[in-house]
C-alpha cells in the first residue's frame, strides 16, 4: 500500500540534503507538508488553504487542476500542498526503469510538462555548463537589491539538473523568480536527489507549469513525485510552487516588473495604503487594473475603485485568483 511522505521522514531527508544544490544553487528545507495543508517550519502550525471556489479543491487529475481558473490561495509561503498531497499519477505512468520526456514548446514558445522516472543512471556525471544562451518566454534581465542574488529571474529548470542532467534544454527552462527557484522548487529536488542516491530506487517525477491565457510567464508549477519500488513509502508529494517574489509585482503577460507599492506584506495583507483596483460587482472579486480578467468582465459589472485593500475585504470582496491583488 502506498503511503505519503511523512513529516518525520521529510525532515530526515532534508537534513541530508543540506550539502546539495539544485537548479538554482543554495539549500533550503521546506516546512512539513501534510495532507491538505502546509505547515511552515517554526510557525506554530500555521495552515494555508485551497481556494474552494474555483474548482481546484475538486480536481481529479493534473489536467483538471491546471484547467481550473485561479490558483491555490497564496498565503505568503513558497508552496502549497494540493490534492491532499497525493500526486495525480495513474498506474500506467509507473515504470521500473528510468525515462525522461519534455513537451514541445507551444505556439507562444512556452514550456509544457516535464516528466521523468528519476534513477541514478539519469543523474549528471559532469559539471553543469552555461545556460545563458536560452531565453525562456517572458525573460527579463532585471535586478533588485532586496532579491537574494539581486536578479529577479532565474532560468528555472522544470526538472532540476541534479536529477536528469538536462541543462540548456529549452523545453525544460522557464522564467522563474529567485523565490520560486530556491525556496519553492529546490527543497523538493534535493529531497528526491538524496533519496535516489541513497537507495538506488526510482522516483516518478512530474513538473507542469501553469499559465493563464497567453501570458508568457508561468504563475507557478505543479510538482508531483512518488518513489516507485517502495510504493511511495520513501517519497510522495503533490505541491504547487508559486512563481512570485515577495516585494515585487510581476506582469505575467510580459515579464516586466516593479517594486510592489500596493501596501501588501509578504502574506498578502494590507497596510491601509490607497491603491487602484477594478471591482466585479457580480462576482464580488477585485482585480489589479491590468488583470486579464478585467478585459473579460461585463461592463455592467465593472466598478473602478481607489482605496485600501483592507476596506474591500471588510466589504466582502475577495482578491482575484489570477492577479492576486
Instruction: Specify whether the CB–CB gap between 124 and 161 falls below 8 A.
Output: yes
Which of 228 and 53 is assigned the larger pLDDT?
228
The string of DSSP codes covering 272-318 is: S-EEEEEEETTTTEEE-TT-HHHHHS-GGGEEEEEEEHHHHHHTT-E
Question: CA–CA separation, 252 vs 254, rounded Å?
Answer: 6
Question: CA–CA separation, 6 vs 32, rounded Å?
Answer: 8
Question: CA–CA separation, 67 vs 152, rounded Å?
Answer: 27
Would you state the pLDDT for residue 166?
A: 87
Given a cut of 60, whether residue 279 has pLDDT beyond it is yes
Residue 92 CB partners (closer than 8 Å, separation 6+): none
- What strands lie across the sheet with 285-287, from one edge to the other? 302-308, 274-280, 285-287, 318-319
- What strands lie across the sheet with 203-210, from one edge to the other? 79-81, 236-242, 220-227, 203-210, 114-118, 99-102
Question: CA–CA separation, 61 vs 87, rounded Å?
Answer: 9
Q: Quote the percentage of the chain above a pLDDT of 70.
A: 74
Given a cut of 90, whether residue 18 has pLDDT beyond it is no
Given a cut of 60, whether residue 92 has pLDDT beyond it is yes
Given a cut of 70, whether residue 293 has pLDDT beyond it is yes
Given a cut of 90, whether residue 170 has pLDDT beyond it is yes
Given a cut of 70, whether residue 4 has pLDDT beyond it is no
Instruction: Indicate the pTM of the whole model.
Output: 0.68
pLDDT in tens, 179-220: 999 999 999 999 999 999 999 999 999 999 999 999 999 999
Instruction: Specify whether the CB–CB gap between 300 and 281 falls below 8 A.
Output: no
Instruction: Give which of 212, 213, 138 is closest to 177, Cα–Cα.
Output: 138
Question: CA–CA separation, 269 vs 138, rounded Å?
Answer: 27
Given a cut of 90, whether residue 95 has pLDDT beyond it is no
Would you place residue 7 in the very low, low, confident or very high pLDDT band (cuts 50, 70, 90)? very low
Would you state the pLDDT for residue 217?
A: 97
Q: Is the dihedral of CA 277, 251, 241, 222 positive or negative?
A: positive
Given a cut of 60, whether residue 266 has pLDDT beyond it is no
pLDDT in tens, 36-63: 323 332 222 222 333 433 445 557 788 8
pLDDT in tens, 115-163: 999 999 999 998 888 888 999 999 999 999 999 999 999 999 999 999 9
Domains of the chain, each with CATH number or no CATH:
7-248 (3.40.570.10), 262-319 (no CATH)
Given a cut of 90, whether residue 325 has pLDDT beyond it is no
Q: Quote the percentage of the chain above a pLDDT of 90.
A: 52
Amino acid at each position: 500500500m502506498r503511503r505519503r511522505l511523512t513529516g518525520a521522514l521529510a525532515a530526515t531527508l532534508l537534513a541530508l540534503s543540506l550539502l546539495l544544490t539544485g537548479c538554482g544553487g543554495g539549500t533550503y528545507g521546506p516546512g512539513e507538508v501534510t495532507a491538505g495543508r502546509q505547515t511552515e517550519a517554526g510557525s506554530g502550525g500555521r495552515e494555508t488553504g485551497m481556494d474552494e471556489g474555483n474548482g481546484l479543491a475538486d480536481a481529479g487529475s493534473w489536467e483538471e487542476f491546471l484547467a481550473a481558473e485561479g490558483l491555490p490561495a497564496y498565503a505568503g509561503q513558497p508552496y502549497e500542498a494540493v490534492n491532499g498531497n497525493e500526486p495525480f499519477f495513474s498506474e500506467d505512468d509507473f515504470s521500473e526503469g528510468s525515462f525522461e520526456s519534455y513537451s514541445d514548446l507551444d505556439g507562444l514558445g512556452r514550456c509544457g510538462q516535464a516528466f521523468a522516472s528519476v534513477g541514478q543512471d539519469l543523474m549528471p556525471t559532469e559539471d553543469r555548463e552555461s545556460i545563458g544562451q536560452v531565453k525562456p518566454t517572458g525573460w527579463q534581465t532585471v535586478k533588485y537589491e532586496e532579491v537574494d542574488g539581486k536578479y529577479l529571474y532565474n532560468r528555472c529548470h522544470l526538472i532540476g539538473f541534479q536529477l536528469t542532467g538536462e541543462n540548456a534544454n529549452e523545453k525544460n527552462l522557464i522564467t522563474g523568480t529567485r523565490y520560486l527557484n530556491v525556496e519553492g522548487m529546490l527543497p523538493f529536488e534535493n529531497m528526491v536527489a538524496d533519496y535516489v542516491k541513497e537507495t538506488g530506487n526510482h522516483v516518478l517525477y512530474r513538473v507542469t507549469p501553469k499559465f493563464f491565457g497567453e501570458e508568457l510567464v508561468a504563475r507557478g508549477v505543479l510538482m508531483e513525485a512518488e518513489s516507485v519500488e517502495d510504493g511511495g513509502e520513501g517519497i510522495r508529494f503533490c505541491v504547487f510552487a508559486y512563481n512570485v517574489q515577495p516585494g515585487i509585482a510581476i506582469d505575467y503577460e510580459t515579464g516586466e516588473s516593479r517594486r510592489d507599492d500596493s501596501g501588501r506584506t509578504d502574506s498578502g495583507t494590507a497596510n491601509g495604503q490607497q491603491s487602484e483596483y477594478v471591482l466585479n460587482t457580480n462576482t464580488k472579486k477585485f482585480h489589479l487594473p491590468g488583470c486579464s480578467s478585467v478585459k473579460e468582465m461585463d461592463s455592467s459589472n465593472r466598478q473602478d475603485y481607489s482605496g485600501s485593500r483592507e476596506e474591500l475585504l471588510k466589504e466582502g470582496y475577495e482578491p482575484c485568483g489570477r492577479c492576486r491583488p
